[in-house]
Amino acid sequence: MPLNHLTGEKIEGMSPVFRVVPVEKYKAKPRLTTTVREWTGKQFKVEVDVERPIWQAALGHAQIAYFNAGAAPPLKYDVIVQEYVTGEVAFLFCARVNGNDLYVPAVFALSPQQIAELTVTGDWAPFRIN
């Protein structure tokens, strides 16, 4: 799984200005959440909005994409996280499905409040462009 963990990967439609950060940074932030739509209920399925940490939301998005493409558990994947000057965070997953590398991006736009909270805790630094 050939993801570049040093310089990152260009994601179509995203800014070329980004930095690669460790995945653990977002795994350790359970209070940094987003709203996802999930199906609940045993007999009658109902779609509801649920708050999930962005790492769990990104992983869930990738797992659904891989299983829909024919991947069988257990799923082995590689992932990098890229922070963009635009205030977005992209999780880029790569897994081998049916003999081919399948890339799945999960992009989240952080709110100004989320960026402010990350800045206060030292987890988001302003971008410096040389």
Judge whether 89 lies within some domain.
yes
pLDDT reported for residue 2: 82
pTM for the model: 0.88
pLDDT digits (tens, 9 = 90+) for 63-106: 999 999 999 888 899 999 999 999 999 999 999 998 899 999 99
| 33-37, 107-111, 123-127: range with lowest mean pLDDT | 123-127
The string of pLDDT tens digits covering residues 44-54 is 778 888 899 99
Does residue 3 sit within a domain?
no
Q: What is the pLDDT of residues 13-32, one digit of tens each?
A: 999 999 999 999 999 999 99
* DSSP element (H, E) containing 113: helix 112-120
* Per-residue DSSP letter, 30: T
pLDDT for the residue 129: 59
The pLDDT score that the predictor gives to residue 36 is 84
| pLDDT value of position 68 | 93
| Residue 23 counted as domain residue | yes
| Total domains in the fold of the chain | 1
3-class secondary structure for 72-109? CCCCCEEEEEEEECCCEEEEEEEEEECCEEEEEEEEEE
Domain membership flag for residue 125:
no
Instruction: Establish if 11 belongs to a structural domain.
Output: no
Answer for the pair 98, 113: CB distance below 8 angstroms, yes or no.
no
Q: Which domain holds residue 60?
A: 18-120
